[in-house]
C-alpha cells in the first residue's frame, strides 16, 4: 500500500556490502521517467553509478547527516549505487519541482524493493561533474544513494519545536516529524 510505504520509509545512510541488481536500479529510474513533469517537458537525465572505483569517488563528493557531526557511512557502509539526477538545460533553464518528484519516485521504488536510500543535496557538484564527465549543458541537481539498509531509523515526535534528527544511546536515529494538526488546516490558513 502506498500510504504505508511512504509513512514507513526513513532515510538510510549506512548500507551493507551487498550489491544492488541492475534491474532494481533500472526499475527505480524507470519510475522516475514516468513521474509527473511540469508541462511534460521531461528535462531530467540520470547517471547510474555502480562501479566499485566510481562508488568511492562519488562518495568523496557527498556530505551526510548535517545535524549529526561524525555520523556518516564508513568505507564498509558506503552506498552500493547512486542515481545522479541532471537537468538538461537545453530543454529547460530552471529545474522547478521535477527533480524532487523524481528522487521521491526513486526512493519509494527502492524501498518497495527492500533497499534503503538517501536523497543527497549536499554534493560537491564541480568535483562530481569532473568524476562523471558531465557536460556543461547538464546541471547536477540531486543524487540518490542506494543499498541494503544497515541501520533502522525511527520516526519520532517533534519536542519543543526541535526538528533535528538525533541519535539515541543505542545508535538509532530518531527523526522528529511535525504533527498533522500543526501543519494542516481546512479551508483557511488558521
Ligand atoms: C532535497 C533533499 C536533500 C537532502 N540532502 C541530504 C544530504 O545531502 N545528506 C544527507 O545525509 N541527507 C540528506 N537528505 C535527507 C534528509 O536529511 C531527510 O530526508 C530528513 O532528515 C528526514 O528524514 P526521513 O527522510 O527519514 O523522513 C536530503 C533530503 C532531501 C529531501
Q: What are the pLDDT tens digits along the chain (190 aa)?
A: 999 999 999 999 999 999 999 999 999 999 999 999 999 999 999 999 999 999 999 999 999 999 999 899 999 999 999 999 999 999 999 999 999 999 999 999 999 999 999 999 999 999 999 999 999 999 999 999 999 999 999 999 999 999 999 999 999 999 999 999 999 999 999 8
Q: Is 87 left (phi over 0), alpha (psi -120 to 50) or beta?
A: beta
Please give the CATH superfamily to which domain 2-152 belongs: NADH Oxidase (3.40.109.10)
**Domain 153-190 grouped into CATH 1.10.3720.10:** no
Q: Which of 99, 118, 141, 153, when mutated, tests ligand 1's pocket best, judged by the most ligand atoms within 8 Å of its CB?
A: 118
Q: What beta strand segments (E) does the chain contain?
A: 44-49, 81-88, 116-120, 138-147, 154-157, 166-167, 173-177
pLDDT (0 to 100) of residue 86: 98
CA 187 / ligand 1 centre spacing (Å): 30
In the chain, what's the furthest Cα-to-Cα distance?
Answer: 53
Tell me, in angstroms, the distance from the centre of ligand 1 to residue 120's CA.
6
Q: 146 alpha carbon to ligand 1 midpoint, in Å? A: 13
**Going by CA atoms, what residue is nearest to atom 26 of ligand 1?**
10
Q: Kindly state if the Cβ of 65 falls inside 6 Å of ligand 1.
A: yes
Is the separation of the CB atoms in 81 and 48 below 8 Å? Answer: yes
Q: How many CB atoms lie within 10 A of CB 35?
A: 17
* pLDDT value, residue 190: 80
Kindly give the pairing relationship between strand 154-157 and strand 138-147: unpaired
Residue nearest to atom 15 of ligand 1 (CA): 119
Q: Is 63 near ligand 1, meaning CB less than 6 Å away?
A: yes
> So where are the chain's domains?
2-152, 153-190
- How, if at all, do strands 154-157 and 173-177 pair? parallel
> Is the Cβ atom of 121 under 6 angstroms away from ligand 1?
yes
Amino acid at each position: 500500500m502506498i500510504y504505508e510505504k511512504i509513512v514507513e520509509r526513513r532515510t538510510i545512510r549506512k548500507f551493507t556490502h551487498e550489491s544492488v541488481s541492475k534491474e532494481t536500479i533500472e526499475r527505480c529510474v524507470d519510475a522516475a521517467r514516468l513521474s509527473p513533469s511540469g508541462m511534460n517537458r521531461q528535462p531530467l537525465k540520470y547517471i547510474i553509478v555502480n562501479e566499485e572505483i566510481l562508488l568511492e569517488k562519488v562518495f568523496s563528493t557527498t556530505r551526510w547527516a548535517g545535524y549529526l557531526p561524525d555520523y556518516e557511512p564508513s568505507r564498509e557502509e558506503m552506498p552500493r549505487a547512486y542515481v545522479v539526477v541532471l537537468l538538461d538545460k537545453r530543454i529547460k533553464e530552471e529545474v522547478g519541482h521535477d527533480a524532487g518528484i523524481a528522487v521521491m519516485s526513486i526512493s519509494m521504488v527502492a524501498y518497495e524493493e527492500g533497499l534503503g536510500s538517501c536523497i543527497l543535496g549536499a554534493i560537491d557538484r564541480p568535483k562530481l561533474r569532473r568524476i562523471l564527465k558531465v557536460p556543461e549543458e547538464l546541471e547536477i541537481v540531486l543524487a540518490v544513494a542506494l543499498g541494503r539498509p544497515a541501520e533502522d531509523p525511527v520516526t519520532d515526535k517533534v519536542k519543543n519545536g526541535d526538528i533535528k534528527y538525533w541519535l539515541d544511546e543505542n545508535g538509532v536515529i530518531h527523526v522528529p516529524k511535525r504533527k498533522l494538526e500543526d501543519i494542516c488546516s481546512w479551508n483557511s490558513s488558521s
